[in-house]
Structure 1
């Protein structure tokens, strides 16, 4: 039975996937940094940010796993399956990064004592 499309990942496919994974890492680190600064009182965050930080992870990972399973059942290549999972996670990290970045640093009149 012949498969439609390319059976193997091309170097371009791999570079695209590498870039997607790097963006996931960068967005994750920026969100973590802004949330840690928020806990320290140096970044403007909502009072519900800590709860949100914990409650959104299971849903994001379950959605990513479900998307990867659908891709695997559809006969996608391993690199395409990983790309689907990473892209699904990036939706959340991208939206969190943008939302937190808009809030910005807190403005304090001087050092706390």
Structure 2
């Protein structure tokens, strides 16, 4: 099982959750602007925003379950659950930000 969790372990999870929240809010904003015609998004963006959530949630649950079965600490289980969702929010935020505002 290993050592006990330190305050830094908890702080890292809080930081990851905070970053995930900010990225998710940015993605939501860019997608709403895209639906309104003000942000350059692809035609498949609306379908993508629905389908990717289930996959990221599944990956997070599987990672958390595996960490639990390995006997990891609760903070490590949370970190495992966050990682796939954070990976998706980070990628979406970067991808949509690169597209930028729709100028025409």
Gaps of 5+ in 2: none
| TM-score (norm: length of structure 2) | 0.96
Match of 1:50 in 2: 46
Query: Structure 1 runs of 4+ off > 2 angstroms?
Result: none
Match of 1:61 in 2: 57
Whose Rg is larger? 1
Task: State the secondary structure of the residue aligned to 2:52.
Answer: helix
Q: 2:84 aligns with which of 81, 88, 93?
A: 88
Distance 2:78 2:10 in 1: 11
| TM-score (norm: length of structure 1) | 0.89
Alignment length, in residue pairs? 104
Q: Deviations over 1:11-70 (max 9, x none)?
A: 111111110110110111011110010001110000110011111111110011000000
